[in-house]
Structure 1
């Protein structure tokens, strides 16, 4: 059963700072990690921000928060949140954390990684007497800053219960998906497949309507104000119409990685995903055009290019 915890960020903090861990570490000070750190600092928590690039860590802190590029500086943290690009980075983070954190500390990985990698991280931390939770998110850095993310969480019940006051500070809803951490990661990959497929479809349809002589802004308005009024249609369709591909919420190479992970796990569990295969190839084609630095909604740019626009 999927359980849901709701939190309206506009109502303020979920609980007092005293209900959260005494010291929280954030590993990875990219746009998402920096947003997490900023919100936790705003809540008055004691925060340590780690990034290999110390300048990135320093840019993410203010007040009494600590910036570091030294793993040992995280030793006093009760809970660590990590947000890194892929399986290899997540495994490297866990390897360091497992040796510096105390027994009973918890590592919350909010990265988009494979279910198998999540299982490996859980096993590693368990060997060291530590907890592990997978909590990837649906949403972009702007939503992270506004605490409007959807958090997909999985892990042992007691560990999840301990982490809930923290997770509820970071998003508007927390979905509890079970005790196996990899379940949250499988769901995150599924969400990215559906988002990418929607962007591909929107790009194709908007290009078709432009070629047919219909203004694409008018086409977008009709589509999103009738049957196709979903958040993905509006947000990413708007990027396609306005050609707002930079700065990226997620770059094309990360999107290719996510589709690859989804297809690999789909093969493992015996679930054909033909549409996902096509969209993965389209993302590879976006990359081949030299558009790696763009947002993954550049699928719409490729559709327009393919239509001769």
Structure 2
């Protein structure tokens, strides 16, 4: 048994008014095509270009291993040069990926290749983050720590994107003091016997191609799977809803530090507790709703 997916709406280039009224205010995801054809990046950005301008830059790499108590939140598994990583990507399938990397801080000239979308959001110009993955690489299901609104632009190949409405967070087996779910969940092949609350989740799905943009509203869960080697650029704005702004502040200012402290203090026992507690809390809620 698998999820019943909802296809994310796809539209042509939007005006500011259309975006705000139809997608931002109702907090509805959307794929926008033909939005960045006037960016130099649309024709320039590929692996050959990146090897030329950023080949010598040291990049943070992650694989598909579960959270390690010896590492801090978002601490990379490996470090290598961009050129070495691109070589790996082009040789064949790999789980290695780049996550939350501010490439333009290291290569400022790349900012000249893009334009900041004029869609009514105040984007954080200091945080244009890039994400890379090889064929079959997967990004674990999570929502962003600071509850931003995200414009996610894909380059090279295809990437499948799965989104879950934050209204369904109570069914997602979210770990305490975290913004990820129980890592034993396989969202390609969910085990509804072990994780019965997932039956109440109706994920959204789309496949992004080169130059297409996905809008992800505040607090939406997302899981990405690279169908081919590729990379993406995310531009973000602060949460517009006060409740989300406060939750994001609590995550950044307290929860991540407490989680890191408990990993040092309790080790693997802390991670085991969080896994078990996520299951206990979620299944208890499910039983209460069924009563």
Greater strand fraction, Structure 1 or Structure 2: 2
Q: Which has the higher contact order (CA 8 A, sep 6+)?
A: 2
Greater helix fraction, Structure 1 or Structure 2: 1
Same fold (TM over 0.5): no
TM-score by length of 2: 0.31
TM-score by length of 1: 0.30
Larger radius of gyration: 1
